[in-house]
Amino acid sequence: MDSTNRPSAGLDNLAFRAALARGLVSRRSAMMGAAGLGAAAFLAACGSEGRNPTTPGTGAGTGAASAAPTAKAAQDMSDTEKIVNWSNWTEYIDVTDDGKSRPTIDAFTKETGIEVNYTEDYLDNDEFYAKVRPLLEGGEDTGRDVWCSTDWLVARLIRQGYVQKLDLANIPNAANLEDSLKNVEFDPGRVYSLPWQSGFAGIGYNLKATGGKKIESITQLLTDPALKGKVTLLTEMRDTVGLVLLEQGKDPANFTDADFDAAIAMIQQAKDAGQILKFTGNEYTDGLAKGDIAACIAWTGDVVQLQFDDENIQYALPEKGFTIWSDNFVIPAMAKHKKNAELLINYYYDPKVMAEVAAWVNYIPPVKGARDELVKIDAELGENPLIAPTPDVLSRSHVFRGLTPDEETKYNRAFQSIVTG
Amino acid sequence: MSEATATRVPASPLGTGTAATPARRNWVPYALLLPGLLWLTVFFVLPMITLGSQSLQEGNVDEGFVFTGNVGIYADAFSRYWPHMVRSLSYAGLATVLALLLGYPLAYFIAQKAGRWKNVVLVLVIAPFFTSFLIRTLAWKTILSDNWVVTQWAQQLGITDVLQAVGLTSTDSLLFSPFAVVMGLTYNFLPFMILPLYASLERLDPRLLEAAGDLYATPIQAFRRVTWPLSLPGVVAGTLLTFIPASGDFINARLLGNTQTTMIGSVIDSQFLRVLDYPLAAALSFVLLVVIVTLVALYVRKAGTEELL
């Protein structure tokens, strides 16, 4: 039942691929984690029992959110154990057509002699956090040396002192990081994290279900009577609220409580009017492909994949701006093979390698030069603005700002009360 | 029932009033209980205590949670989410009734008429369990999809109008509605209804029905006076096994429902994993537990426990 553990990776992979072909799952498939949710919730429940998290030496916490506690490091076994344990989202790396091997990982092992235990057990940021938090809190090894978390979770992990600083001496290729991603608010100068893939959240729609109508703005998405009851939004708060903020002329990187409330009010209004069918993880792909969902807030990579099968599926990046997110490599506290993990990151920061991955996953590679390499692999992909966005497109993309713990709780609560209302 | 009496007899081998006899054997049943008790203590009682104490804590994930005995959380949880609670119980109740209506004739057929096909049909009943819960539920998205025959027939036959009239759907499509959620629940928990029903109907002696016939009972009377009372333990067990997990379910509502069909399970899920409000989530879990236990107690009492035990 629990498909998230490693031993059955081969079978799972086949099942996932079959499911993908039917449009059931793709990368951010929150649903596949559902089976594990109960257990995760239980772990979460046990973990916080009376115990305080590894509070830093600076225990007296007035405005202490800025002084992040340092993550504990384990003795690095990298040189004796040629292993690295990497947890990642499903369908998020290149795989051969028979689904049996992952070429870039195999090449890495060949080059360095380091064996990669690649596990697709990262199904959802919240769920993954619930799974590893009790271990991190107790100062224990999570059994993982590296994983890829979305920006906002990286911010939280840094804040709580659960991830280690990267040793850039082992990652010379980090210099290839796209300039626009170098100085993110939650990790200035990229001390703790390096992006794995990026993507936009915009509007996806199915021409068959919209009656040939183009959907180009969030206002249209939330009010056009032609879409009534056939619109879905993402449960990922930062993407949904971020797009609405932009529509209202606010910047998700710099907004006030009142701006947030106004955005929530706009969503609530659309919900009360019956415009919104539901809030989803990326299971919207299935409904969008079938036409049960006419239009939705969608992630780029998902839509690019749907477009291969059906040209009625369209994507619009709203004129007023859209959000960009990244999933980032981080090395957790007490990781046993930190250096190996860094070598792995270094390897993927080679533009050639990154292009191979991008050709398969269809998200935006964060590495300079990967675009040119991608054109060599597949000219059409290399020119797709959703995979290789032009500087003009990139300049319209926005990042959701980091939140303080109090804001995070408050905003999540407000947003979830619409989602589960 | 008869087994119970059979085992009780040798416990007093010498029969009459020598009350203080076999102390030696009295501990055996308790020893046999031990593994089960241990299991329940570790995996049920302890988590319950944890959950209970957690519900009375205050704090946040960054600074940790501290026990403050904040009982007010229960009032808060109940007043904010009672509509979800009521909704969950009604969906689960509806699904249970549907499962009973579908399952009873089927179980009767398997138990009494299937003959040598009995085992094959039983395997077919369980067969859906060979695939994952998730995939089974996702299949309903295809079945009820707008551009598929089921919805189109339902529209032509006017079924969608009926469903709309009773409030189970709000448009003329079937997917993403209370109807779809109830269908998903019914489907997913149907085997839990069929198997206990089968077990009790299988023991039904056909000669009792013949006797009823000989006494001029019509088939309907025979069913009401013989079959139904004898199958009652199966009915009670089946309805409980369907109703209890269905009321806590959140996958069906999430995949097949809309923004108005959120069940209490989804709320707990979102409070635990998204908002990270562990105390509220724990309190909600407890409230759900108490509500279900109360309902079940009332129901079992009404249905007559002596039939079961």
Task: Give the pLDDT score at B195.
Answer: 94
- Alpha-carbon dihedral sign for residues B252, B253, B255, B256: positive
Contact flag B138-A46 (C-beta cutoff 8 Å): no
Contact flag A416-B259 (C-beta cutoff 8 Å): no
The DSSP letter of residue B274 is: I
Determine contact, residues A392/A383, Cβ cutoff 8 Å. Answer: no
Q: pTM for the complete prediction?
A: 0.77
- Site from A3, A11, A292 to mutate, B interface, most B CB atoms within 10 angstroms: A292
Least trusted range by pLDDT, from A139-153, A177-191, B80-94? A177-191
| Average pLDDT over every residue of A300-316 | 90
Task: Give the pLDDT score at B39.
Answer: 93
CB-closest option in B62, B66, B272 to A44: B272
* CA of residue B3 relative to chain centroid, distance: 27
In chain B, domain spans = 2-55, 73-303
Cα separation of A190 and A174, whole Å? Answer: 9
Residues of B in contact with A44 (CB under 8 A): 272-273, 278
| Average pLDDT over every residue of B15-20 | 49
Residues of A in contact with B51 (CB under 8 A): 45
Task: Give the pLDDT score at A6.
Answer: 33
How close does chain B come to A186, measured CA to CA in Å?
16
Task: Give the pLDDT score at A24.
Answer: 38
Token output for B226: 């013989």
- What is the complex's ipTM, to 2 decimals? 0.72
Tens of pLDDT along A31-49? Answer: 333 333 333 333 333 433 3
The fold of B73-303 is MetI-like fold (1.10.3720)
Determine contact, residues A145/A164, Cβ cutoff 8 Å. Answer: no
Burial class (CB in 10 A: 0-12, 13-18, 19+), A94: middle
Task: Give the pLDDT score at B96.
Answer: 97
**Average pLDDT value over all residues in chain B:** 87
Least trusted range by pLDDT, from A11-20, B103-112, B299-308? A11-20
Residue pairs spanning A and B at CB distance below 8 A: 137
Tens of pLDDT along A367-420? Answer: 999 989 999 998 888 888 888 888 888 889 998 888 888 898 899 999 998 998
Name the closest residue on chain B to residue A3, using Cα atoms: B132
In a 3-state reduction of DSSP, which class is residue B65?
strand
Name the closest residue on chain A to residue B87, using Cα atoms: A421
CA atoms within 13 A on the CB side of A156: 22
Query: Per-residue pLDDT for B99 more than 80?
Result: yes
Task: Give the pLDDT score at B214.
Answer: 93
Query: Per-residue pLDDT for A16 more than 50?
Result: no
Task: Give the pLDDT score at A19.
Answer: 40
Contact flag A35-B63 (C-beta cutoff 8 Å): no
Contact flag A290-B257 (C-beta cutoff 8 Å): no
**What band does A67 get if pLDDT is binned at 50, 70 and 90?**
low
Cα separation of A326 and A25, whole Å? Answer: 20
Contact flag A286-B133 (C-beta cutoff 8 Å): no
Task: Give the pLDDT score at A305.
Answer: 85
How close does chain B come to A153, measured CA to CA in Å?
11
The DSSP letter of residue B10 is: G
Contact flag A55-B258 (C-beta cutoff 8 Å): no
- Alpha-carbon dihedral sign for residues A409, A410, A413, A415: negative
| Average pLDDT over every residue of B56-68 | 86
| Average pLDDT over every residue of A53-81 | 61
Name the closest residue on chain B to residue A65, using Cα atoms: B62
Task: Give the pLDDT score at A46.
Answer: 40
CB-closest option in A3, A50, A412 to B275: A412
Task: Give the pLDDT score at B20.
Answer: 52
Query: Per-residue pLDDT for B10 more than 70?
Result: no
Task: Give the pLDDT score at B293.
Answer: 92
Query: Per-residue pLDDT for B309 more than 50?
Result: no
Q: Is B241 left (phi over 0), alpha (psi -120 to 50) or beta?
A: alpha
Name the closest residue on chain B to residue A230, using Cα atoms: B176
Contact flag A35-B133 (C-beta cutoff 8 Å): yes
Query: Per-residue pLDDT for A21 more than 70?
Result: no
| Average pLDDT over every residue of B104-121 | 91
Query: Per-residue pLDDT for A242 more than 90?
Result: yes
Q: B221-244: string of b/e by CB count within 10 Å (b at 16+)?
A: ebbeebbeebbebbbbbbbbbbbb
CB-closest option in A126, A159, A420 to B266: A420
Contact flag B278-A31 (C-beta cutoff 8 Å): no
Tens of pLDDT along B27-60? Answer: 888 889 999 999 999 999 999 999 999 999 988 8
How close does chain B come to A37, measured CA to CA in Å?
8
Determine contact, residues A404/B63, Cβ cutoff 8 Å. Answer: no
Residue type (1 letter), A284: Y
Range among A20-34, A88-102, B101-115 rated most confident: B101-115
Query: Per-residue pLDDT for A106 more than 90?
Result: yes
Contact flag A277-B273 (C-beta cutoff 8 Å): no
Query: Per-residue pLDDT for B115 more than 90?
Result: no
Task: Give the pLDDT score at A155.
Answer: 92
- Site from A32, A46, A48, A137 to mutate, B interface, most B CB atoms within 10 angstroms: A48
How close does chain B come to A9, measured CA to CA in Å?
16
Tens of pLDDT along A146-188? Answer: 999 999 999 999 999 999 999 999 999 999 998 888 888 889 9
Name the closest residue on chain B to residue A38, using Cα atoms: B269
Token output for A409: 């709780």
Query: Per-residue pLDDT for A320 more than 90?
Result: yes
Query: Per-residue pLDDT for A105 more than 80?
Result: yes
| Average pLDDT over every residue of A245-265 | 95
**Average pLDDT value over all residues in chain A:** 83
Cα separation of A233 and A267, whole Å? Answer: 9
Contact flag B62-A235 (C-beta cutoff 8 Å): no
Cα separation of B239 and B237, whole Å? Answer: 6
Contact flag A291-B147 (C-beta cutoff 8 Å): yes
DSSP symbols for A330-351: E-BTT-S-HHHHHHHHHHHTSH
| Average pLDDT over every residue of A136-153 | 94
**What band does B1 get if pLDDT is binned at 50, 70 and 90?**
very low
Query: Per-residue pLDDT for A28 more than 80?
Result: no
**What band does A265 get if pLDDT is binned at 50, 70 and 90?**
very high
Name the closest residue on chain A to residue B275, using Cα atoms: A412
Residues of B in contact with A127 (CB under 8 A): 273
Task: Give the pLDDT score at A177.
Answer: 95
Cα separation of B60 and B57, whole Å? Answer: 10
DSSP symbols for A182-198: TEETTEET-SSEEEEEE
**What band does B286 get if pLDDT is binned at 50, 70 and 90?**
very high
The DSSP letter of residue A25 is: -
* Residue A260 backbone dihedrals phi, psi, to 5 degrees: -60, -45
Query: Per-residue pLDDT for A55 more than 80?
Result: no
Query: Per-residue pLDDT for A15 more than 70?
Result: no
- Interstrand relation of A193-206 and A322-330 (parallel, antiparallel or unpaired): antiparallel
CB-closest option in B47, B134, B147 to A42: B47
- The radius of gyration of chain B from alpha carbons, rounded to an integer in Å, stands at 24
**What band does A74 get if pLDDT is binned at 50, 70 and 90?**
confident
Determine contact, residues A239/A297, Cβ cutoff 8 Å. Answer: yes
Tens of pLDDT along B140-189? Answer: 988 998 888 898 899 889 888 889 888 888 888 898 899 999 999 999 99
